[in-house]
Amino acid sequence: MKVIATKLGHYGNKLVEVGEVFELKNVSGKVINPMTGRLIESIITAESQFSDKWMKKLDEYEVVSEELNSVPKKKGRPFSKKVEGDSLEVI
């Protein structure tokens, strides 16, 4: 399942940045059965790994816009304007 990160998150052992496109894959492993206390083989599906809190599903052929894939700009006053009380003007 192809997804895009809408917020900062973790997948596997990796930190996923906002706008990063990645793929959720089925993972097999062993878990403890709470009824018997024994290890059993289990498959964690891509659908069960999906989190709508910080992921958005993408269609197989969906193109991600540059706006979503870019780093957000920092907010603040522009450097080219001189503000009263400033001793330096950066151009």
User: How do residues 36-86 score in pLDDT, each as one tens digit?
Assistant: 999 999 998 999 999 999 999 998 666 666 555 554 445 555 555 555 555
Tell me, yes or no, whether 47 lies in a domain.
yes
Q: Any alpha helices (H) in the chain, and if so which ranges?
A: 46-49, 66-69
CA–centroid distance for 76 within its chain: 25
Residue 31: its pLDDT value, please? 85
> Is residue 44 a part of any domain in this protein?
yes
Predicted model pTM: 0.58
Tell me, what's the pLDDT at 10? 93
pLDDT of residue 82: 55
Nearest-5° Cα angle at 71, 81 to 49 = 150
Check residue 91 and give its pLDDT: 53
Is 24 a member of any domain? yes
Range of the domain at 19: 2-68
Domains of the chain: total: 1
Q: What is the mean pLDDT of residues 13-27?
A: 93
Q: Does any domain span residue 57?
A: yes
Q: Does residue 86 fall inside a structural domain?
A: no
